[in-house]
Amino acid sequence: MTRGNEFRATGRADVLRPGLRPQPRKWKDGRYGHGQLMLVDDLLLVQTEPGPVALVEANPTAYREVAKLAALHSKTWNNPALAGDILLLRNDQEMVCYKLSKCVLRAAN
């Protein structure tokens, strides 16, 4: 997942760091378990292992969670899907669809 400054998760979604080349970690924060990441404009959309979705600024110098949604209510290892402003999420017990407002998707600007 790239955007000017590149981001990746190393092992767990709670370990976020910029850059694909070996370099010192610039920040680590958020406790998301074995979640999934998606880069959306200037935000990292994090599907957490416990079920909520977090929006985190894609900023290589500082961690800032800008929003959190209680999306699912049990263990979730599935990847989120985003089609325009429609967010699709699922796990082994639930499937949900959210229509995101444009201001949510531009929260980090």
Q: Per-residue DSSP letters for 77-100?
A: -SPPEEETTEEEEE-SS-EEEEE-
What is the pLDDT, as a whole number, of residue 22? Answer: 54
Per-residue pLDDT of 15-44, as tens digits, reads 445 554 555 666 666 778 888 888 888 888
The domain ranges of the chain are 7-105
pTM: 0.73
List the single range of 9-13, 17-21, 103-107 with lowest mean pLDDT. 9-13
Per-residue confidence band for 90, with pLDDT thresholds at 50, 70 and 90: very high
Burial 48-86 (b: 16+ CB within 10 A, else e): bbebbbbbbbbbeeeeeeeeebebbeeebeeebeeeeee
